[in-house]
Amino acid sequence: MPPTDAAETAQTADPTDRERPCALVTNDDGVEGRGLAVLAVAALEAGFDVVVAAPSRDRSGASAAVDGELDGDRLPVAEVPLPWPDLAGPDQPDDDPQAWCAQARRHEGTDRLRVLAVGASPAFCTRVGLRGAFGGRVPDVVLSGVNHGMNTGEAVLHSGTVGAALTATVFGVRALAVSAGVASTQTLEVSATTWGAVLDAVRPALRWVLDHEPTGTLNVNVPHLDAGERVRGLRPATLAAAGVAQGSAFEAGEGYVRLTATTPLEDPPEDPGSDTVLLAQGWATATLLASVEQRTGVPLDDLDDLAGAVPAGTSPSTGR
């Protein structure tokens, strides 16, 4: 296939270059999530071959769970079409809301862009993908999202979008997690204007990730935008003490507890630079999240007393 963009032309024309690097794109909303296409296009623009390997169904809230719908030792994988959202904004033509992806769509189904529905959680998609499960390519970067709904504050712990990206970070691979504000928490629809702002934020965020060592996952959130609105810019942010929504138990019955989702208090968090505050002010935010690592500086010497209470070679439960 002839080259179709400047980056590809440069790589194809240089006989010393080997194959292009590979980007793995996943999410927790499932393979029908329209945000996958935004990350795929950004990766293609950056010169990557792209493998979209997303859960075959919605896995929201999966965190970093690694589970699959295995049939013996077989993980279900099927090639599917990629949903392409409409984009609107100052850099998008008014007469064709999908003009932004016309070039990328020509690559779909080729080695440049494969789209797979996987019977697995998002973190499991990442983990097996890093072992070359999807076509034998080991990804150089993992992009997760774009989540329908923002992932902010300490609630990112539960996000499957963030969990998939952090899994890559644990294994020393660069990772980016991206989430977008929604027009309604009932429909979880992302507006065309918001999608345009997401693409504008993803491009510099991906460049930052590629320019830095994989010491963490860059977590990017873009607020909801109505038609004609613009995001104020992309700013670094701290994690708020709480996320966009919290679960509260308000009724305990016989054999059940009824739960409801509540929004945080209207009073802003103490830190005016937190992600929830900046998003409410119209900024897109970026926060670098640490991967799982050993905690140092906390002495564990007192464990010796507990270990000494059980003679070596005996069972703590039986004493034999």
pLDDT by residue (tens digit) across 38-60? Answer: 999 999 999 999 999 999 998 88
Answer whether residue 310 shows pLDDT above 90. no
Q: Rounded to the nearest 10 degrees, what angle do helices 122-129 and 160-170 cross at?
A: 20
Query: What is the residue-averaged pLDDT of the chain?
Result: 86
Indicate the length of the chain as a whole number.
Answer: 320
Tens digits of residue pLDDT in 117-175: 999 999 999 999 999 999 988 999 999 999 999 999 988 999 999 999 999 999 999 99
Domains and CATH numbers, the chain: 17-240+269-308 (3.40.1210.10)
Sign, CA torsion 158/160/162/166: positive
Considering only residues 194 and 3, tell me which one the structure prediction assigns the higher pLDDT: 194
Tens digits of residue pLDDT in 235-273: 999 999 865 555 555 667 778 877 776 555 555 446 899
Return the minimum-mean-pLDDT range out of 96-105, 181-190, 204-213. Answer: 181-190
pLDDT at 18: 53
pTM (two decimals): 0.84
